[in-house]
Amino acid sequence: MSYQALYRVWRPRTFKDLVGQSHITQTLQNAISDSKFSHAYLFSGPRGTGKTSAAKIFAQTINCEKMPAKEPCNECDACLGILDGSISDVIEIDAASNTSVDDIRDIRDKVKYAPSTVPYKVYIIDEVHMISVNAFNALLKTLEEPPAHVVFVLATTEPHKIPLTIISRCQRFDFKSINNKVIADRMKEIMEQEEVAITSEALEAIALAAEGGMRDALSILDQAISYSDDEVNMNDVLAVTGSVSQEILTNMTEAMFEQHTETTLQLFDEMVMNGKDPGRFVFDMIYFLRDVLFYKTTANLAGYLERAIVTDAFKQLTEKIDVQWIQDAIIAMTECEQQIKWTNSPRIFVEITILTITNRHEQEVQQVQVSQPDATIPNEDIQQLINRVNQLEKHVKELESKPATAQPAAPQRRREPTRSRGNSYDIPYERIRSVLDQAEKSALQKVQSQWADFLEQLKRTNAPAHATIQDSKPAAASNKELVVAFKYEIHCSLFLDHKEMVESILANTISNHLPIIPVPEQNWLEIREQYIQNQEQTNPQEIQEEQPVVTEAQKLFGEDIVEIQD
């Protein structure tokens, strides 16, 4: 196969080519030129930031025939042999497939032999965190006191998984995510040498999609070149990465701010129908709103925009929208981004978030309108309202002055708590009242004491099921059933898809099978309050007998002074 991917062709060959890591390259170059380099290094950082490339460049430089130098010459036999892998003294090991103790013991046995071709034998162990604990222990002594002709370079994306005893024996270098501008500049340089036409907007979009990784950026660039015809433009990059165009983001933000619910949902539906990923939309929207906030705060921050291009439509949007709304929208989108990681239906969560942002300030506006009535109301109407209020107050005082005649209270018909509009979940009121009739405090306390262990076990077993029930709490329990109050109504509906599995894990945790009755938290408070009121009206004497302290307090201080709170 003659063609090579861009990230392989343009893999760094010198420290100068290793962009975005000057704090590391300068330190290594000074150590090499002074012949004061260490026997063991640990390179850690995100993927695609140059860890393995830096290790190979380091191995070339210390073995270069023109040593001491700050860069490999890439011309001598040693440099060329390390590049093409023909020199056996530079050993690159993939720890993901060589994790056993025997693999490390093989290294330990061969370390004592002197290099055959170059001055130093270099072991580059990639993804070193994959090595087993026993293998790390086998490597420990060799890593601490290797022969003078051996250098170890350990590379990893997850340094927290490496034992501290290993880390303490290495010089550690943390590679950073590469800045988007640096990535774009490097890609522009490569495209000029490859003689491929590409727009600056396309380069910026690729840099953002790469999320700080140079290798990922070159892979996306390779795809965009294959997809495009003559010139790589913004639409080509959006098609390859699945990102959302700024025009859609602008229209969506404007519709949400102006509370055009139907328009907002139509735009989102069209976007999904065109193949855009809802999760990617959330990611792009967060960055776009961030850019809107930066530009609105001060136009001098235009150089820090990562997702947005300053156009006339963008400027008009920033003038129209307010800062508090942007901040609230970013927070809501960020919460949505976390939630959709644990669900099989990300579109539902995104739609709910969009509706929440669109309608969030509606109630606040109504409250302001109530507290600040229209000044155009005629004074005559206001005077009439004042007169009616005065008449009502006079009538109330007259009733208070007359002795009240006791009348038997008419039995009140039990009514259902009001449901919210558009409720897609049918609340089983009778089952919940049945649980309250048979509720036992000990049963609820048993569930509450082991609820955290149950959630932890559920998270390990089934993350989507855990996501539906993590914001809930046991509300009431009998020996036969359990009422669980959910923070959001939609979680009640989603929970039903995992009900049997969740109840099975709960039964294993508390050693008792309790069918779970889900109920939204707001409805639960209404049901509970109404149940207490009905009990007080039906059996007031029993309630006083069950509470002798209340009865005694009423005798001492009077019923008018004593206030009973549950």
Domain with CATH 1.10.8.60 in the chain: 180-241
Q: Which helix (H) or strand (E) holds 474?
A: strand 472-477
Q: Superfamily for 429-531?
A: DnaA, N-terminal domain (3.30.300.180)
Among candidate residues 281, 320, 318, the one with its CA nearest the CA of residue 301: 318
The second-level CATH assignment, the architecture, of 246-363 is: Up-down Bundle (1.20)
Among candidate residues 206, 243, 209, 236, the one with its CA nearest the CA of residue 221: 206
Say whether 107 sits in a helix, a strand or coil: helix
Among candidate residues 542, 549, 531, the one with its CA nearest the CA of residue 564: 549
Radius of gyration of the chain (CA): 35
User: Considering the domain 180-241 in this protein, what is its CATH number?
Assistant: 1.10.8.60
Cis ω on the peptide bond leading into residue 378 (within 30° of 0)?
Answer: no
Question: Is the CATH number 3.90.550.10 carried by domain 6-174?
Answer: no
Domain with CATH 3.30.300.180 in the chain: 429-531
Q: Residue 31: what pLDDT?
A: 92
Q: Residue 28: what pLDDT?
A: 93
Say whether 229 sits in a helix, a strand or coil: coil
Considering the entire predicted model, what is its pTM? 0.59
Burial 134-168 (b: 16+ CB within 10 A, else e): ebbebbeebbeebeebbbbbbbbbebeebeeebee
The fraction of the chain above a pLDDT of 90, given in percent, is 20
The CA distance from 514 to 510, in Å, is 9
Q: Residue 397: what pLDDT?
A: 64
Residues of the chain with pLDDT under 50: 363, 365, 367-371, 373-378, 404-423, 544
Backbone angles phi, psi at 391, to 5 degrees: -65, -40
Q: Residue 421: what pLDDT?
A: 41
Crossing angle between the packed helical segments 323-339 and 278-297, to the nearest 10 degrees: 160
Q: Residue 514: what pLDDT?
A: 86
The CA distance from 41 to 12, in Å, is 19
Which residues, in sequence order, are CB contacts of 411 under 8 Å at separation 6+? 537
Among candidate residues 182, 201, 184, 204, the one with its CA nearest the CA of residue 192: 184
516 exposure class (CB count in 10 Å sphere: 0-12, 13-18, 19+) = middle
Residue 457 in tokens = 């076990």
Q: Residue 412: what pLDDT?
A: 47
Parallel, antiparallel or unpaired: strands 121-126 and 150-156: parallel
The CA distance from 512 to 507, in Å, is 5
Q: Residue 443: what pLDDT?
A: 85
